[in-house]
C-alpha cells in the first residue's frame, strides 16, 4: 500500500484533500499500467483521469481499505477495456504511426545518429503491442496484468472477483491465443527479434 | 485445474523487455487540475439531474393525489336510479303499465 488506511477512510468520508493525496500517490503507477495496457501514449492521461474519476464516485462502495489496491486495479482494467473497445469500433488506422516510426528510423540511419537502444525499445514496444492487438481486449488486459505487470494469481483473483480455477482457465486460454499469434508473427518475419 | 503451463521462454522474455521499455510516465503538471475540473463538472451535472428528477417525482405525486381525491369524493346529487332497490323499480314499473302479466303481479306481491 502506498497510503495509510486512515487516508482512504478519510477520502471515503468525503475529505477531498485526502483523495487528492491518494491520487498523487497512485497516479504514476496507474499511468504506467495504462500505458502498457493501451499502447497509445497520447491517450494515457485521459484514461488515467477516467480511472480516478470513477474512483472518486465509487469510494463509498469500498468495503474496507484493505481491498483498495485491487479495487483501483479493477477500475483501471475497466477503463482500459472501455478504451480498447472504443478504439476497436473506430477501426483507427495506425499507418500514420508506423510511417512516423519509419521516418524516424530512416532519418536516424541517414543521419548516422541512430540511438540503437531507442530503436530496440521502439521495436519491442511496437511488436508486443501489435501482438496484443491480435487477441481480444479481455485477453490483452489479463496477459498484460499477469505477464507484464507481474500480478500474482491471488491478486488477479481480487481484481477479477473470480475463483482461482476460473482464472487459471482464462489465463490458459489467453496464453494459448497469444502463443499462436506469436508463432504466426515469427513465421511471417523470421528476423523479428525478441528481447535480444 | 493444476498449474497453468508457462509461456515459452522467448515470449516471456519479450514481455519482460516490454515492461522495461514502457516505464511509468510522469504525470503532466495539469493532471490534478483537469481531474478536479472533471469531478466538479460531473457533480454539477448530477446535482442538476437530481433536481429535475425530484421535480418530476413531486409533480407525479401531486397528480396522483388529485386523481385519488376526485375518485373518492362522492357525487353531490346522487342519481335517482341508484337510490331505489330493484324490486321498488319493478313495482313502480308494474303500477305504471296496464298489460303487466298476472304471473308477474303474483310474483311481485309475494316478494313485497
Query: Using the beta-carbon criterion (under 8 Å), do A168 and B13 form an inter-chain contact?
Result: no
- Tell which of B21, B29, B32, B50 to mutate to test the A interface (max A CBs under 10 Å): B21
Say how far apart CA A70 and CA A92 lie, in whole Å: 31
What's the grid cell of residue B74?
A: 362522492
pLDDT in tens, A61-77: 888 888 899 999 999 99
**In Å, how far is A22's CA from the nearest CA of chain B?**
11
Query: Using the beta-carbon criterion (under 8 Å), do A27 and B27 form an inter-chain contact?
Result: yes
Nearest to A28 among B21, B26, B34 (CB): B26
Compute and round to an integer the Cα radius of gyration of chain B: 42
Percentage of residues in chain A having pLDDT higher than 70: 83
Model confidence, pTM: 0.69
Within 8 A of B22 by CB-CB distance, chain A residues are 32, 35-36, 125
Query: Using the beta-carbon criterion (under 8 Å), do A45 and B22 form an inter-chain contact?
Result: no
Mean pLDDT of B5-29: 92
Residue B19 pLDDT > 80: yes
Query: Using the beta-carbon criterion (under 8 Å), do A31 and B24 form an inter-chain contact?
Result: yes
Q: What are the Cα distances from residue A196, in Å, to A67, A150, A192, B10, B18? A: 39, 21, 10, 9, 12
Q: Which of A109, A100, A102 is nearest to A41 (CA)?
A: A100
- For chain A, residues with pLDDT lower than 50 are 93-102, 110-111, 192-196
Say how far apart CA A31 and CA A26 lie, in whole Å: 9
Nearest CA in chain B to A183: B11
Q: Is the ipTM beyond the 0.90 threshold?
A: no
Nearest to B1 among A28, A49, A168 (CB): A168
CB A137 within 8 A of CB A88: yes
Report H helices in A59-94: 68-90
A interface toward B at CB cutoff 8 Å? Answer: 20, 23-24, 27-29, 31-32, 35-36, 41, 44-45, 48-49, 52-53, 56-57, 121, 124-125, 127-128, 143, 147-150, 165, 168-169, 171-172, 175, 178-179, 182, 194-196
Say how far apart CA A192 and CA A127 lie, in whole Å: 9
| DSSP for residue B29 | T
Within 8 A of A150 by CB-CB distance, chain B residues are 19
**In Å, how far is A49's CA from the nearest CA of chain B?**
6
pLDDT at position B107 is: 63
How far from chain centre, in Å, is Cα A147? 11
Q: Count CB neighbours of A162 within 10 A.
A: 14
pLDDT at position A192 is: 47
Say how far apart CA A193 and CA A124 lie, in whole Å: 8
pLDDT band at B51 (very low <50, low <70, confident <90, very high): confident
Long-range CB contacts (< 8 A, 24+ apart) of A90-93? none
Nearest to B14 among A41, A49, A128 (CB): A128
Amino acid at each position: 500500500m502506498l497510503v495509510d488506511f486512515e487516508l482512504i477512510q478519510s477520502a471515503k468520508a468525503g475529505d477531498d484533500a485526502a483523495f487528492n493525496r491518494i491520487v498523487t500517490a497512485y497516479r504514476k503507477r496507474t499511468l504506467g499500467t495504462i500505458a502498457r495496457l493501451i499502447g497509445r501514449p497520447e491517450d494515457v492521461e485521459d484514461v488515467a483521469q477516467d480511472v480516478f474519476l470513477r474512483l472518486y464516485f465509487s469510494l463509498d462502495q469500498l468495503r474496507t481499505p484493505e481491498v483498495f489496491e485491487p479495487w483501483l486495479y479493477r477500475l483501471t482494467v475497466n477503463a482500459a477495456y472501455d478504451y480498447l473497445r472504443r478504439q476497436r469500433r473506430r477501426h483507427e488506422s495506425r499507418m500514420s504511426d508506423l510511417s512516423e516510426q519509419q521516418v524516424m528510423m530512416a532519418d536516424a540511419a541517414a543521419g548516422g545518429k541512430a540511438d540503437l537502444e531507442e530503436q530496440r525499445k521502439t521495436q519491442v514496444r511496437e511488436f508486443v503491442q501489435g501482438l496484443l492487438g491480435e487477441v481480444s481486449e479481455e485477453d490483452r488486459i489479463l496477459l498484460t496484468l499477469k505477464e507484464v505487470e507481474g500480478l500474482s494469481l491471488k491478486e488477479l483473483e481480487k481484481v477479477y472477483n473470480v475463483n482461482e480455477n476460473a482464472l487459471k482457465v482464462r489465463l490458459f486460454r489467453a496464453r494459448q491465443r497469444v502463443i499462436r499469434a506469436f508463432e504466426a508473427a515469427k513465421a511471417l518475419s523470421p528476423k523479428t527479434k525478441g528481447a535480444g | 485445474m493444476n498449474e497453468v503451463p508457462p509461456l515459452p521462454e522467448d515470449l516471456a522474455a519479450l514481455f519482460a523487455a516490454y515492461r522495461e521499455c514502457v516505464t511509468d510516465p510522469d504525470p503532466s503538471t495539469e493532471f490534478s487540475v483537469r481531474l478536479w475540473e472533471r469531478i466538479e463538472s460531473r457533480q454539477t451535472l448530477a446535482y442538476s439531474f437530481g433536481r429535475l428528477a425530484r421535480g418530476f417525482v413531486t409533480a407525479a405525486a401531486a397528480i396522483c393525489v388529485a386523481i385519488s381525491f376526485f375518485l373518492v369524493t362522492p357525487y353531490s346529487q346522487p342519481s335517482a336510479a341508484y337510490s331505489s332497490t330493484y324490486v321498488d323499480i319493478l313495482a313502480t314499473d308494474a303500477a305504471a303499465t296496464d298489460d303487466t302479466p298476472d304471473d308477474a303481479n303474483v310474483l311481485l306481491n309475494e316478494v313485497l
